[in-house]
Amino acid sequence: MRLNHYRFRSEWRLSHPLPVVWDALEELEAYPKWWPEIRRSEQIELAASRVTCRSFLPYELVFVTRSARREPSVGVLEATLEGDLNGFSRWTISELDGGGTLAVFDEEVDVGKTLLKVLAPVARPAFRANHWLMMKHGRDGLEKYLAR
């Protein structure tokens, strides 16, 4: 296993209906309004955005995300990532029994940022914890944003 390769999965149980969650997750340029670690998201092409993230650890990740799959009928939003992160991310969105929405985030990436590649052998647990914290803040932020 390459130390700069990561697989993440997060499951967000949200109290809002699927169409509302879909609309929010599809609008990447609005992520900084509700996800504290997404510092910037700017559209650079029709189906591509440059995203800047910074969480608890003192570094930024900048990457371009390009829409690779958009299938509302099966609840899938998928994008390729290039830059400080290289790989893909995917939202799979479904209705929960009893109401609400389950949003599953899968990401498989190689870290391209030189400093993080060098630090990976000793800092990998901190990087994973940093990602966990970022995802928690994202879920909490989206829930509050949709409640408005």
Tens of pLDDT along 74-121? 999 999 999 999 999 999 999 999 999 999 999 999 999 988 888 888
Per-residue pLDDT, 1: 61
Domain count, the chain: 1
Q: What is the CATH number of the domain that holds 21?
A: 3.30.530.20
Domain range for residue 33? 5-147
- Secondary structure of the chain as H, E, C letters: CCCCEEEEEEEEEECCCHHHHHHHHHCHHHHHHHCCCEEEEEEEECCEEEEEEECCCCCEEEEEEEEEEEECCCCEEEEEEEECEEEEEEEEEEECCCCCEEEEEEEEEEECCHHHHHHHHHHHHHHHHHHHHHHHHHHHHHHHHHHC
Average pLDDT over residues 35-48: 97
Tens of pLDDT along 28-40? 999 999 999 999 9
